[in-house]
Structure 1
Amino acid sequence: MKNVVIDFNSQSVEFKFMVTNRDVVTNSNLRQDIQKYGIAQDLIVMPIEEYDGQLNDSIGFKFGEGESAGVYVVIDGQHRLTCLNDIITKIEKIKADNEAIKEEKKKAVPTLTSTDIPLKVVDREYVERFGGIDSYVIMLNNTGKKWSNKDFIVNAYQRNEESLELRIINRLSEEGMSISTISRWLCGNTKVINNKSLQRLVRGEKVEGVEAIKQMKLYLALLTLGFSKSFLNKRYMIDVINDLNKGGEKDKTLLKLSKITSVVQIEKANYAEGEVIAQIKSIINADYDTWRKEHNIGFAEEAEAIKMNTILNTVTEKDIEAYLSTNTNSKVISKKLAQAA
């Protein structure tokens, strides 16, 4: 590891981004600070000849026109580099525009206080001390609390796109579901899916308590009953399901769910009317009781119905794959399953 300061006023330097770098979010305050004070904190980079991972070919910056100071892969600092590039691009555009207009109409050219880019240069041997470059990136951002849970999910998925569990977690996150609700759906509680278990899934390890296929079948089956994604992506429905399961009768819970007719009423449950979970449970139980009365269901008939209940069988693994592969598949799946019901 070494520290280097590159002055792009007299040197040139090129930066490449990793595929797993976070998407850059526009930060006007950071851009103003860099323009006024320069880059205050070292960028963490690796010489490109040391890097053996995938590069994002669509993003990269080159600064300066002088003698080359090297090509580096950005491990931490893509937001600062993007802001610096925005500033320089704006300055160059104003200069170019000014050349084509009269003196009195020329715009003031913004000033960039510093042309220094401070770097902390690490090599492959250095990052291996932390378990490799991916683990090093996670450690850096976890320590600095810069990453959101969604960032960790995206990073884990990008590192192992073959993992069905990570594909499901990433897709539910894209739909707007929080990591704690994802954990509720896939594992029955909020604690299993977290940054540590995501890294285990990246390594192809089994995480105890994750029932990805079964729970995705249930999620998609509820969509076919008429529930909206926006409602299912909140914690209420899955909290009710997990609460019903506590009685040790998961199969009976599935039967109850299959007999829901009051979807609109359930989605309208709110705290103005009392505790939401209790309201939803009451509605589900009422629908179930109505079904039993209308069909004269006794204990023997109920036991047989529980045994024959096919709510999970209405969704196949191919349907899950379709959901994960397209953005509009839930409508297609809902139509298909509704026809098969």
Structure 2
Amino acid sequence: MRTPGLGVKQPPPTPVAPRTAAARSRKRDLAISAISLTPEAVRHVSIRIDAQSASTYVDVMVDQVLLAGGLVVGPLFTLTYLAEGAARAHYKPLRHPVSCLALGERGWTQTANFIVAGLLSLAFAVGLWRAGPSHWGALLVGVWALGMLSGAIFPTDPVSGYPPGTPERLEHSTRQGVLHTLLSMVGFVALTAACFVFAWPGTRGWAIYSVASGVLFAATMALAAAAFAQKERLVAVGGLIQRVSVTIAWTWLAVLAVHTLGPDRYDHRHYPPTRNHRCRGPRRDVRGGRRRAVQPGPANSRSLGVVRGVRRGPARRSAVRVRPGYRGQAPP
């Protein structure tokens, strides 16, 4: 008995075209359309997404406002003491410290300058705590801000003969003068440490700049302290050295604010990547049969609707993953 088809030439198999990106997208869309959603579930999920998106937007705006304090505090403080120093009689910017502007009849202007600078620096420290790379660094910047506020609460003693009629150096320091010096030194040390702390999580260029700023700030502040202690070779330029030191500090804080506000900011504490997030950059979210870029955030990484993300491995395959526990009914 002859077997059917035996000896008959079979046609060649049809070649299978490689799977393209469009084919993968169609397969993904079919997988999404297979999920049965009730109108109640869709409405509940949409409301939840809108609420979380609005909350995330408000958080980002608050972070930007707080971090902007680090940008404006330096120029505002510098312009104020320069203008006030130029308007004071017998005040020599090259010789006298900035704190001496808080003495005399018009001392309230520099006192207000200390208060505004301290509050802006404190707001900047809060912004660094919320969105910065280091909580320890944010705490150190906060100590620096408290040191600025202490300059308004405890005025300094007369230094280098200002106000007029006072000796070059007092024989006995007052209590408020001692507190002014001690609290200011604590703030200076804290800012120096912050330069080293924030240098760790950045790039090589940022680390070099941050460490150099910390070293130069500490060195110039030590020279200014020696000048105000009536060191003969430095007393005539003590005010200039202090202004250079303060400018280094404000410039570093402004650059830190720009560095934190930049587009590459990514806080892993507040915005942890999901298990499906294997690539850098914005995650690809699939919802409603469309693909769109979604920036990582609390609303996107925890509850972005039904589909949580797209997995992209070495072979650049795409897979849809339904949120665990969801079976087409309204979530609790």
**TM-score tier after normalising by the smaller chain length:** under 0.3
More strand by share: 1
When normalised by structure 1's length, the TM-score is 0.25
Relative contact order: is structure 1 or structure 2 higher (C-alpha 8 Å, sep ≥ 6)? 2
